[in-house]
């Protein structure tokens, strides 16, 4: 059985991560004290290290990271952090040893990431080649969600989200094949959701097609500057919607 060392405060956050993974892996918790990390790494000989910044202050860990880089260069280190810290520490992930997951961290998302890094995907649920592609539709207007769902239901497995935060949670839990993302939303708009996705290694691979009701040239140019897979004007025609989705999925 593969072994995982989780470094973080021994509170509910780290314990939850340990519980998520304990069915598939041998998991050991460790506080973020350098001596403890060195000792536990030597004793456990983990196949993967998870360093959680979600319950710790980031920014003072260079000696720890340098030690892993110098003494355990082949040991993958998965760092859990929020989107702000991910932006602040971009240079850290230029080293292939260090991988990242951006909050919100879900059970399914963490398990899938560990399967990926440890090459234990045989333990993960398999997709049948006959399964429908998953499309996540994100819009704060329930009527718009129902309209889009009715257009896609026969051909795709349709997921729905009414806010940016709900969308990010659904993406990590369900790993959709494509996201139809409303550009104009309150609290967390489409561009902010897209930028959060791009900061995460797994979510960045999922194509995003923006939905917008604003059709003037300046607004469309602003949307395209984000470099999405495409955009669709609302209300959308069914044929246009299906064609756009098929084109994007074909490219994938």
User: Mean of the per-residue pLDDT values for the chain?
Assistant: 85
Domain ranges of the chain: 3-123, 134-251
Q: 152-172 burial, b for 16+ CB within 10 Å, e for fewer?
A: beeebebbbbbbbebbbbbbb
Which residues fall within 8 angstroms of residue 60, CB to CB, at 6 or more apart? none
Whether 2 has a pLDDT exceeding 50, the answer reads: yes
Q: Residue 245's pLDDT is what?
A: 94
**Residue whose entry in the numeric block shows the structure tokens 């952090």:** 81
**Separation CA 82–CA 86 (nearest Å):** 6
**Separation CA 145–CA 143 (nearest Å):** 5
Write the pLDDT tens digit of every residue in 92-136. 888 889 998 888 787 888 888 999 899 875 555 544 444 689 999
3-123 and 134-251: identical CATH topology: yes
User: Looking at per-residue confidence, does 189 or 126 come out higher?
Assistant: 189
Q: Residue 132's pLDDT is what?
A: 80
The confidence band for 39, taking pLDDT boundaries of 50, 70 and 90, is very high
Tokens (6 digits) for 79: 């760092």
User: Looking at per-residue confidence, does 158 or 11 come out higher?
Assistant: 158
**Separation CA 30–CA 50 (nearest Å):** 10
Beta bridge partners of 27: 4
Q: Which CATH class is domain 3-123?
A: alpha beta
Whether 219 has a pLDDT exceeding 70, the answer reads: no
The confidence band for 226, taking pLDDT boundaries of 50, 70 and 90, is confident
Collapsing DSSP to helix, strand or coil, 237 comes out as coil
Q: Residue 159's pLDDT is what?
A: 93
**Separation CA 85–CA 107 (nearest Å):** 21
Do 227 and 194 form a contact (C-beta atoms < 8 A)? Answer: no
Beta bridge partners of 53: none
Q: Residue 166's pLDDT is what?
A: 92
Q: Residue 131's pLDDT is what?
A: 62
Write the pLDDT tens digit of every residue in 161-171. 999 999 998 99
Collapsing DSSP to helix, strand or coil, 208 comes out as strand
Whether 68 has a pLDDT exceeding 70, the answer reads: yes
φ/ψ of residue 67, rounded to 5? -65, -45
Q: Residue 129's pLDDT is what?
A: 42
User: Looking at per-residue confidence, does 141 or 48 come out higher?
Assistant: 48
Whether 218 has a pLDDT exceeding 80, the answer reads: no
Does the structural domain 134-251 have CATH classification 3.40.50.2300?
yes
Q: Residue 130's pLDDT is what?
A: 47
φ/ψ of residue 36, rounded to 5? -65, -40
Q: How much is the pTM? A: 0.56
What SS3 string covers 179-198?
Answer: EEEECCCCCCCHHHHHHHHH
Mean pLDDT across the stretch 209-219?
74
* pLDDT > 90 fraction of the chain, expressed in percent and rounded: 38
């Amino acid at each position: 059985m593969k072994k995982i060392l989780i470094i973080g405060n021994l509170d509910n956050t780290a314990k939850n991560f340990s519980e998520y993974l304990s069915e598939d892996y041998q998991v050991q918790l460790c506080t973020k004290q350098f001596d403890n990390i060195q000792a536990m790494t030597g004793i456990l000989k983990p196949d993967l290290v998870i360093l959680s910044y979600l319950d710790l202050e980031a920014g003072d860990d260079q000696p720890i990271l340098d030690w892993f880089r110098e003494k355990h260069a082949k040991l993958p280190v998965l760092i859990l952090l929020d989107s702000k810290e991910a932006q602040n520490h971009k240079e850290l992930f230029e080293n292939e040893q260090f991988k990242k997951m951006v909050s919100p961290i879900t059970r399914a998302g963490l398990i899938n990431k560990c399967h990926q890094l440890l090459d234990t995907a045989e333990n993960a649920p398999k997709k049948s080649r006959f399964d429908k592609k998953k499309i996540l539709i994100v819009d704060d207007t329930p009527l718009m969600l129902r309209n889009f769902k009715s257009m896609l239901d026969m051909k795709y497995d349709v997921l729905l989200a009414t806010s940016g935060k709900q969308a990010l949670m659904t993406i990590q839990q369900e790993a959709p094949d494509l996201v139809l993302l409303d550009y104009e939303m309150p609290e967390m708009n489409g561009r902010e959701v897209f930028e959060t996705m791009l900061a995460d290694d797994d979510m960045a691979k999922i194509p995003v097609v923006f939905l917008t009701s604003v059709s003037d040239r300046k607004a469309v140019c602003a949307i395209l500057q984000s470099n999405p897979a495409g955009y669709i004007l609302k209300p959308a025609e069914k044929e246009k919607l299906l064609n756009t989705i098929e084109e994007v999925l074909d490219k994938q």
